[in-house]
Amino acid sequence: MADYLSGSINFTGLGGGVDFAQVIDGLKKIEQVPMNRLTLWKADWQRRKDAFGDLRTELATFKNVVDGMDTLEEFLVKTASSSNAAVASATTSSAALEGTYRIEVNKLASNGIWTFNDTFADKTQQVNTSTTDQSFVYTYKGTTRTMTVPPGTTLDGLKNIINNDPQNPGVRASFVQNGNAWTFQMHGMDLGSEASLTIDASTNLSKLPGNDPTKWQTQQATDAEFRVNGWPATGWLKSTSNTVSNVIEGLNISLKDVGTTQLTVATDIEKIKEKITAFVDGMNAVRSKITEQTKVDSNKATISADKSASLFQAQKGSILTGNYGVQLISSRLKTAIADKSTGFEYQYKDGNINRGDIYSSLAQIGILTNAEEGNPNYGLLTIDQEKLDAALKNNPTAVAELFAADGIGVSDSPDFSYQSKVNGVTKAGIYDVSYEVDASGKIVNAVIDGRPAKVDDASHTLTSMDGNSRGLLLQVDNLAPGSYSSRVRIKQGKAADIDGMLTDMLGKNGTLAVLENNYTDIMDDIDKKIESETSRIEKWERTMRNQFATLSATLARYDQLNQSLQSQITQLSKQ
């Protein structure tokens, strides 16, 4: 009774041996059934969210693959070998044409260097031994600088005066060690005949006289001289640098010594195949993960829903079977694989001219989906190596464009040509073009992608001002009076297409984020219900314990009365 009045509810065995604590615990288990169901329900939603996290990981891994192959520079690997690397070597870009190039080097580009013939025993030896200021004067690339050299200036001090000059036009003073002595040297930092260097006669240092040919050894700044495939037949191509990038498209040539070499440019087919294989493997990893998360196994052993700890133990399906979000992701990826690349067109005949693209879909180069049910690779991409090899042998550039075209413009008409676009503004796609040329040769009624285009009759160009084609510039080549219509295509390869799709899926407002946030909201709502149930059960338990405590106290009082009566009866029976 004292325990009851003190508020304690820790009792057991009161009231005729009845264990009321056990009774309450049993009743509490019944009361907790809804909350337990909520807890299991939340766990199922967490499993779904975790499954999307696993899918996100696979999609991000695949995105890293396509990120590394969504431009021609990354995908179309070309190499340049040299028959005599000591004379010249080269690096390539995707624009380099396959073939051989004979490089004949007559002279390397050099910088101007002046080296003083006399040596100094120490860098601290004075170059101005007079009591007045003297001058060191030089001219570099047409700019003359006069350095004031105070009395007592050392050889090292002169170097610092020259190098630290805030208006230094591009020279460097330094020393050359000759045994135990030091030689002063001036370098022009640029190559080529325009970077001439002279130490002027007006230099009057005590120990370092000016332009005296008996005191200085000079190297004149000269241009590199070379020929490509015997051209020019007389004279030489010249360059102010020994790195030449504007002579052969796509080649960056390093001239190294006088002599002749042959550069051979070839496409690295094996590197391209490695990238294609990585693409297929990446996509298959995503497809395999989706299959794993959505498959239905008719042979799966299930547990009664009343006894299972999870909804998924009671069904034949997997964690995301029937999930709309996964179906949407899977559908978008499958469509991207099956469709033509953006801006590509199947090849067709226009009179005697082939128009369109040699390869516009992955199936044309041997990349297909395995449709054989029961096959372990069912639903995955496969590569027909024989067909892929044939495509790469036939036209590796066309294969590369299918994967990695990065805004390549193509006109489908002989009457106008693609000129340029605005990166980041003009979208890839196929755009209808129409215009008229009047009797005076002026362009009128120009339309691109269904919108009026800007006409410049001086340059004969059309510019798209609106829509996805905004910034597209076309050159009108046929100015004969008449009406003209055709299309222009801005091509974007599969890698870039899928990269953009994956960016959208993985973004903070993308498909996965929306689903994951939705599941988080659902679990937050369940948490609130669990919190409410917890509060209800705690209140219920307090009420029950108070009620049973009252009952126990009442029973105890009646037990005492019973014992008292029994005692009185016993006493009466003895009389």
Over its length of 575 residues, how does the chain's per-residue pLDDT go in tens digits?
A: 333 333 334 444 444 556 777 877 778 778 777 777 787 788 888 888 888 889 999 999 999 999 999 999 999 999 999 999 999 999 999 889 999 999 999 999 999 999 999 999 999 999 999 999 999 999 999 999 999 999 999 999 999 999 999 999 999 999 998 888 999 999 999 999 999 999 999 999 999 988 788 899 999 999 999 999 999 999 999 999 999 998 999 999 999 999 999 999 999 999 999 999 999 999 999 999 998 888 876 676 666 656 656 666 656 667 778 888 889 899 999 999 999 999 999 988 877 778 889 999 999 999 999 988 888 889 999 999 999 999 999 999 999 999 999 999 999 999 999 999 999 999 999 999 999 999 999 999 999 999 999 999 999 999 999 999 999 999 999 999 999 999 999 999 999 999 999 999 998 888 888 888 888 888 898 888 888 888 888 888 888 888 877 887 788 788 888 888 888 888 887 76
CB under 8 Å, gap of 24 or more: what pairs does 342-348 form?
Answer: 342/428, 342/429, 342/491, 342/492, 342/496, 342/497, 343/405, 343/408, 343/410, 343/428, 343/429, 343/430, 343/489, 343/490, 343/491, 343/492, 344/402, 344/405, 344/489, 344/491, 345/412, 345/430, 345/489
- What gap in Å lies between CA 246 and CA 224, rounded to an integer? 14
Q: Is residue 473 assigned to a domain?
A: yes
d(CA 542, CA 413): 86
Rounded to whole angstroms, how far apart are CA atoms 495 and 70? 5
Amino acid at 25: D
Given 392, 424, 443, the domain boundary residue is: 392
Rounded-to-integer distance, Cα 165 and Cα 145, Å: 9
Q: Which of 532, 54, 46 is nearest to 310 (CA)?
A: 46
> Contact 82/69 with Cβ under 8 angstroms?
no
Is there a contact between 140 and 171 (Cβ–Cβ < 8 Å)? yes
Under 8 Å CB-to-CB from 246, ≥6 apart: which residues? Answer: none
Asked whether residue 258 falls in the same domain as residue 155, the answer is no
Examine the domain organization and report whether 379 and 281 are in the same domain: yes
Confirm if 476 and 415 have CB atoms less than 8 A apart: yes
Q: Which residues pair with 100 in a beta bridge?
A: 264
Does residue 58 belong to any structural domain of this protein? no
DSSP labels for 341-356?
Answer: PTT--B-EEETTEEES
Do 277 and 365 fall within a single domain? yes
pLDDT at 145: 96
539 and 427 within one domain: no
Same-domain pairing of 429 and 484? yes
Kindly provide the residue ranges of all beta strands, DSSP E only, lying in 308-387, ordered along the sequence. Answer: 348-350, 353-355, 367-369, 381-383
SS3 464: strand
pLDDT of residue 24: 76
Q: Are residues 105 and 229 in the same domain?
A: yes
544: its two tokens? 């029950």
Whether 472 and 333 map to the same domain: the answer is no
Note whether 133 and 263 are same-domain residues.
no
The answer to whether residue 453 sits within a structural domain is: yes
Total structural domains within the chain: 5
Whether 291 is covered by a domain: the verdict is: yes
Residue 132 falls within a domain, yes or no? yes
| 278/385 same-domain check | yes
Expressed as residue numbers, the domain containing 238 is: 78-109+224-267
Q: What pLDDT shows up at residue 6?
A: 33
Q: Is 401 a domain residue? A: no
Torsion of CA 178, 183, 188, 192, to 10 degrees: -50
Place of tokens 């042979």: 299
Q: What pLDDT is attached to residue 189?
A: 96
On whether both 20 and 166 belong to a single domain, the answer is no
Q: Same domain for 470 and 367?
A: no
Alpha helices in 249-315 (DSSP H): 269-294
End-to-end CA gap in the chain? 35
Per DSSP, helices labelled H in 230-268 are none
| Domain match, 436 and 449 both | yes
Q: How far is residue 344 CA from its own chain's centroid?
A: 23
Q: Does some domain include residue 39?
A: no
pTM to 2 decimal places: 0.75
Structural domain includes residue 50: no
Q: How far apart are CA 224 and CA 120, in angstroms?
A: 34
Say which residues have a Cβ less than 8 Å from residue 538's Cβ, sequence separation at least 6: none
- What is the structure's pLDDT at 260? 97
